[in-house]
Structure 1
Amino acid sequence: MTTRDNLDSGLSQRAIEGALRSRADSWQYNEEMEKAAALEENGAQLSSTLRMSLGYYRTGKKAAAAAGRNVSDAEGSEDSGTLSAAYRSPSNPAN
């Protein structure tokens, strides 16, 4: 699997880079998804909804790692230098 999986092959290079940047910027570490991934790796049967969510999570994580973000833990995965952080209001950091 690459970071380009699930992208329309007819997209321009610029559109692909934008989609990957968007995935990287929106990804956030999720302990529950990490636990689900470990369960799946150990052979546990996950619900179809959880498998789908885990697929999106993994795709975002892979894009974030390719963008140079630390994806190993919650503390290191903050998006302090990313595009989405630039749109946060100083008065409302959760915005």
Structure 2
Amino acid sequence: MKARTDVLVEIRSAVETLLKNAAEFKDRFRKDPINWGDLHCTEVLYCLDDEGHERYQVHIAECDPACGELKRYIIESLQSHYDENDEFEVITEW
């Protein structure tokens, strides 16, 4: 797993693109409370815990913290594009 800034910027850009694409098929996310007008990625963090577990943490603003379908969509899309060993966590917030 890479902690370089360029990787974090690349992931954030990918998430922004995924969010724009998601807006084109909103029906998939009809159960998720989302403010489509201002939905965006606020930050991407590289996390390393005290047990050596690594992950990328993606923060998305303007949707409910319980937006399960949107979180699944972002995680699955990122995992299909990046290394199979990379782990992603998505946090949604108003």
- TM-score (norm: length of structure 2): 0.29
- TM-score (norm: length of structure 1): 0.28
- Structure with a larger share of its residues in helix: 1
Which structure has the bigger radius of gyration?
1
